[in-house]
Structure 1
Amino acid sequence: MALRRRIAALAAGVLAAPLLVVALPTSQAFAHGYVSSPPSRQAQCAKGTVSCGAVKYEPQSVEGPKGLRSCNGGVAGFADLNNDSKGWKVTSVGQTVTFNWVFTARHRTSNYEYYIGGKRVGFVDGKNQQPPASVSHTINLGGVTGQQKVLAIWNIGDTSNAFYACIDVNVS
């Protein structure tokens, strides 16, 4: 008799499992991404090029409200990204640079923006589409020369947040 009850309970569980999966609410996927090359500050942290705390383990998580102009996206735990004297590797580039984004989770994209010294030098419309696993943008830096910090921003299309990445370059 006990064996029959166990079999009946097992059968009920097997039959109910698919219904539970369909009936349970789903959580929204979180978007995550960063500029992998030229190496952004968080990419350098992840590779151990520069010691910079918790962002080493979450380079894709530099997320904050849209409209910020900070390397850390307003995340206090990633404050090292704002420190310009941290010893960031500077990449030599020309006037036109290809920035490569890597996404570990993808959201619809409003747009991408690129800034140097507070001036927007690049804009790419994301057409509110979900990006592929990686995206490249070729941006003209607008005639600046010398060592510069590029702020790259991925504005999400279906949330009020954006992802931030700073890239240190020497423009010839």
Structure 2
Amino acid sequence: MNGKKKLAFVIGAGIAPLLAVSLPASSASAHGYISSPPSRQAQCAAGTVPCGPIKYEPQSVEGPKGLRSCSGGQSLFSELDNDGKGWKVTPVSGTTTFNWRLTARHATSTWQYYAGGQKIAEFNDGGARPGATVSHQVDFGGLSGRQKVLAVWNIADTPNAFYACVDVDVR
């Protein structure tokens, strides 16, 4: 390698890391949301209900474990917490299958479902990595009528969880 080539190589090798850290970060490969019955973020993504940025990132509602909000505590997605926004309500039976669409497959501790101010179901994955889709059959017990279901995907190896709310009419 001649002197000019060496110099070009050294400069390139020195600049490359600087460029890598200075370029804007792309969105994370994201994570997951309930596709059926359609969650609030699925309704946003489909254009069923007009929403803000969640329309483009329905899988990104992530926040600390233990929250009870549809937005996962993210102000960027606060529209998901607005119960008066005109969410479409899906008629369901007393036992309903909830289908998650996952874009990143995190090791999972538990999946939890809340309705009527109480936990109605929990599924323990014991740290397993799910596939691209996950389905749970949830029994609503004695609950009936219109319900907002909060579904929580608790990640095993981080302090975070993913959140989705689904508006249903239990018949």
Quickly name the TM-score band, shorter chain normalised: 0.7 to 0.9
Aligned to 1:111: 110
1:86-101 matches, within 5 Å, as 86-101=85-100
TM-score by length of 1: 0.83
CA shift in 2, pair 1:68/1:142, >3 Å: same
Q: Which SS does the other structure have where 1:128 is aligned? A: coil
Identify the residue that residue 25 of structure 1 maps to in structure 2: none
Q: Give the CA deviation at 1:5.
A: 4.4
SS of residue matched to 1:80: helix
- The one-letter amino acid paired with 1:141 is F
For 1:146, the equivalent position in structure 2 comes to 145
Q: CA RMSD in A?
A: 2.1
Superposition pairs for residues 16-31 of structure 1, below 5 Å? Answer: none
Runs of 4+ in 1 over 4 A off after TM superposition: none
Deviation at 1:61, TM superposition (A): 0.3
Query: How many residues are aligned here?
Result: 154
Give the letter for the 1:170 counterpart: D
Structure 1: tracts of 5 or more residues without a match: 13-28
- Aligned letter for 2:72? G
Match of 2:32 in 1: 33
Normalising by structure 2, report the TM-score: 0.84
Gaps of 5+ in 2: 10-27
The amino acid that maps onto 1:87 is G
Which residue is 1:57 aligned to? 56
Q: Which of the pair has more CA radius of gyration?
A: 1
| 1:70 aligned partner | 69
* Deviation for aligned residue 1:31: 5.4
